[in-house]
Amino acid sequence: MPEKLEQRLQHAHADGRTLVMGVVNVTPDSFSDGGRFLSPDRAVRHALELVAAGADILDVGGESTRPGAQPVDEQDELERVLPVIEGLAAATDVPVSIDTAKPAVMRRAVAAGAAMINDVNGLRAEGAVDAVAELGVPVCIMHMLGEPRTMQKNPVYESVLDDIRDFLRERVLACKAAGIPASRIVLDPGFGFGKTLDHNLELLARLDEIVALGHPILAGMSRKSMMGTITGRKNPADRVAASVAAHLIAAQKGATVVRVHDVAETVDALKTLSALKAHRAD
């Protein structure tokens, strides 16, 4: 029997290893791959390619959260993600995470075979914390300032690192109060979600201080506009090298999961890092 995802996350965290979460967007409007995998067959095929490339987790999402994105109706979201989750549960042992903020989608996704919940809204929707407590699967709690429609309009923090750590600590307390064990909680500073380039760079530079909260940390910068601003590359598909570099830095600073579109390239980069660590440990 393969190790449960909760244990895999905890072991990777304890050993300083980094797992790769492959992005499977079943949306018409995602910033990088919107519309490419909208049919369930194509999404499943793409996800299986990510498995072949070495993905440890597949993150299936039916609602774009890019800056300016419009919210998606619950029924539409379910129709997008459920056939993909069912298809993947039948085709691979690689655990599937559901990228959603809606408690009803969390429940239906886990019933269909999802093994993790990834909520960019940090379980702030009514009933979300209770749904996760009942479902008994690991959860990623992400920080977002505002909401996707408006979040990039002049985000302001007193101190970006302190504000985000306070938010994450508060969400962990809310989870624990509802009976979610600490061992199931993954935290994410939410790169690009209500953050300027300076905010994102500060968070990456000081990611070890978020790791110090004691939970596995997920970092997701793949192809995001911060990579475009740094490199001057307008097309998200041209931001692969910058994204690999950013996730390698995150891994060096202790990230337990990196969420990426370009799995093969990221796996190679992480193998290089672990070879170096193994060499130095000899």
| Count of residues of this chain found to bind ligand HH2 when the rule CB under 6 A is applied | 21
CA distance 253 to 249: 6
CA distance 142 to 121: 6
Strand order in the sheet with 257-260: 185-188, 139-142, 116-119, 96-99, 57-61, 19-25, 257-260, 218-219
DSSP assigned state of 126: T
Residue 44 contacts ligand HH2 per CB under 6 A: no
Is 224 among the residues known to form the active site?
Answer: yes
Size of the chain, expressed as the number of residues it contains: 282
Nearest to 259 by CA among 137, 119, 147: 119
Question: Which residue has the CB atom at the shortest distance from ligand HH2?
Answer: 220
CA distance 251 to 254: 5
Residue 32 contacts ligand HH2 per CB under 6 A: yes
Q: Under rule CB under 6 A, which residues in 194-253 are in contact with ligand HH2? A: 218, 220
Q: Of the listed 108, 259, 277, 280, which one is catalytic?
A: 259
Residue 100 contacts ligand HH2 per CB under 6 A: no
Find tokens 């919210």 and name the residue: 71
CA 148, 238, 199, 254: dihedral to nearest 10 degrees?
110
Residue 61 contacts ligand HH2 per CB under 6 A: yes
- Please identify which residue in 65, 121, 200, 256 interacts with ligand HH2, judged by CB under 6 A: 65
Least separation in angstroms between CB 1 and ligand HH2: 27
Pattern 10-29, ligand HH2, x by CB under 6 A: -------------x-x-x--
Least separation in angstroms between CB 33 and ligand HH2: 7
Nearest to 27 by CA among 42, 37, 18: 37
Pattern 113-152, ligand HH2, x by CB under 6 A: -----x-x-------------------x-x----------
Is 277 among the residues known to form the active site?
Answer: no
Alpha helices in the chain (DSSP H): 5-15, 40-52, 74-91, 103-111, 128-135, 160-177, 197-205, 207-211, 225-231, 240-252, 263-281
Least separation in angstroms between CB 248 and ligand HH2: 16
- What residues make contact with ligand HH2 under the rule CB under 6 A? 23, 25, 27, 30-32, 61, 64-66, 99, 118, 120, 140, 142, 188, 190-191, 218, 220, 259
Catalytic residues: 224, 259
